[in-house]
Amino acid sequence: MGMTIIAWIIIGIIAGWIAEKIMGRSDSLVMNLIIGIVGAIVGGWLFGALFGVNVAEGGWLWSILVSVIGAVILLAIINMIRGRSVR
C-alpha cells in the first residue's frame, strides 16, 4: 500500500527539519516541507540509481532516512550555488 499525501507531508517536514539541523540552517516549516519532499525525490532517485533500491517499500524510517540524505545533498548544492560553506 502506497503512502498517502499526508504521510509524505509528515515525512517531508521531518526530513527537512533534520537536514536543516545537520546543515546548520534555520528555515521555516514550509521551507522544511519543500526541502524534505524534494530531498525525498533526490534521495529516492539516487538510491534507486546507485543501489537498485525501491525506497517506497521500506517503510517510514527508511523513507525518512533516504529523504534526509537527499535533503542534505540538496541543501549542500544550494549552499554551493549561493556561496555558503558546506558543513
Decide if pLDDT at 87 tops 70. no
How many Cβ atoms sit within 10 Å of the Cβ of residue 64?
20
Please state, in angstroms and rounded to a whole number, the distance separating the CA atoms of residues 61 and 44: 13
Going by pLDDT thresholds of 50, 70 and 90, the confidence category of residue 67 is very high
Question: Residue 35: what pLDDT?
Answer: 93
Mean predicted confidence (pLDDT) in 13-29: 92
pLDDT bin (cut points 50, 70, 90) of residue 8 is confident
Compute the distance between CA of residue 14 and CA of residue 29 in angstroms, rounded to an integer: 10
CB neighbour list of residue 73: distance below 8 Å, 6 or more residues apart: 39, 42, 43, 46
